[in-house]
Amino acid sequence: MGILSDSDAAEVTKIFGALVRDVHVKVYTQKLECPTCTDTETILRELDGLSERLKVSFLNPQTDSEDARKDGVERVPAIIVSDGTHCRVKFYGTPSGYEFSSLLTTIIDTGGSEEPLTEGTIQFLKDLDTDLEMQVFVTPTCPHCPAAAVLASRMARYSSRVRSEVIEANEFPELSRKFKVQGVPRTIVNGVFYAEGSLSETMMTDALKKGLADDPSIETNLLDYLRHN
């Protein structure tokens, strides 16, 4: 039985009409010790049939261990979205609820004709002289999460110095505890900086500029750099 309704499938097909380039999606799932993998695989198989531009491949991190190692896949279910040349944009968890919209937006960003980032953000990314690891914790019922998830994914798609992981907080409670997730979205950058809530593109880049220059050794709220402006 399918997960997408006929009307949902028709709407997604219409959305995918904006794709002008192929989008490569790798889906890592396994049958053991992953109760959400089946739904994730089902959803992506249904999406795969809605556009010829979408190139979806299904892998198992146990039998395709070398691919998983190269792609840096550390947990399942995992979804990687790219133009086929990198593995910087990852989603961990079932793409349901508002997370489904984040995935669709990232697919359109990757295969669409327009660059969604502002010139200011593009310049920030071009000037980066250090790597950024961005982890965004989200839940399917959070209406503010897509903005944070999509921003991190866009930055990682654009720059080889940035990697993003959108993590479904409820599916990975150990990670949520490790990064003190009490509300979502919660963005963690390089394991040191954090932001509660969804920061605008300008706020995120302004805070990161100041934070990276400050180079703190302890956990630091990115909003502090904006408050002291």
Q: What's 103's domain CATH number? A: 3.40.30.10
Task: Name the percent of the chain lying above pLDDT 90.
Answer: 97
Range of the domain at 48: 6-111
Residues 136, 93, single domain; the answer is: no
Range from 6-15, 203-212, 219-228 carrying the lowest mean pLDDT: 219-228
In one-letter notation, the amino acid at residue 109 is: D
Q: How far is CA 141 from the centre of its chain?
A: 16
pLDDT of residue 7: 96
Residues 128, 95, single domain; the answer is: no
Residues 98, 131, single domain; the answer is: no
Residues 140, 185, single domain; the answer is: yes
Residues 78, 173, single domain; the answer is: no
Is residue 83 within 8 Å of residue 110, measured between CB atoms? yes
Residues 142, 106, single domain; the answer is: no
Kindly report whether the global pTM for this prediction surpasses the value 0.85.
Answer: yes
pLDDT of residue 229: 55
Q: Is the pLDDT of residue 1 over 60?
A: no
Nearest residue to 52 (alpha-carbon basis) of 17, 101, 83: 17
Last residue of a domain, which of 63, 80, 111? 111
Residues 165, 129, single domain; the answer is: yes
DSSP code of residue 2: -
Average pLDDT estimate for 80-98: 97
Q: How far is CA 196 from the centre of its chain?
A: 17
What band does 2 get if pLDDT is binned at 50, 70 and 90? confident
What band does 227 get if pLDDT is binned at 50, 70 and 90? confident
- Dihedrals phi, psi of 32, to nearest 5 degrees: -95, 140
Average pLDDT estimate for 127-136: 97
CA dist 62 and 1 (Å) reads: 27
What band does 84 get if pLDDT is binned at 50, 70 and 90? very high
Is residue 1 situated within a structural domain?
Answer: no
CA dist 87 and 80 (Å) reads: 6
pLDDT of residue 67: 98
- Residue 100: CB partners within 8 Å, gap ≥ 6? 43, 140
Residues 123, 146, single domain; the answer is: yes
DSSP code of residue 56: E
Q: How far is CA 41 from the centre of its chain?
A: 17
Please state whether beta strands 220-221 and 162-168 pair in parallel, antiparallel, or not at all (unpaired). Answer: unpaired
In Å, how far are 57, 76, 103, 205 from 198, measured between CA atoms? 31, 25, 17, 13
Q: Is the pLDDT of residue 10 over 90?
A: yes
Instruction: Supply angle C-alpha 208, 171, 101, rounded to 5.
Output: 65
Last residue of a domain, which of 80, 95, 111? 111
Is residue 112 within 8 Å of residue 59, measured between CB atoms? no
Residues 29, 82, single domain; the answer is: yes
Supply the mean pLDDT for the chain.
96
Is residue 125 within 8 Å of residue 155, measured between CB atoms? yes
pLDDT, greater one: 10 or 227 = 10
When divided into structural domains, the chain yields a total of: 2
pLDDT of residue 228: 63
Task: Name the percent of the chain lying above pLDDT 70.
Answer: 99
Last residue of a domain, which of 86, 111, 136? 111
Is residue 100 situated within a structural domain?
Answer: yes
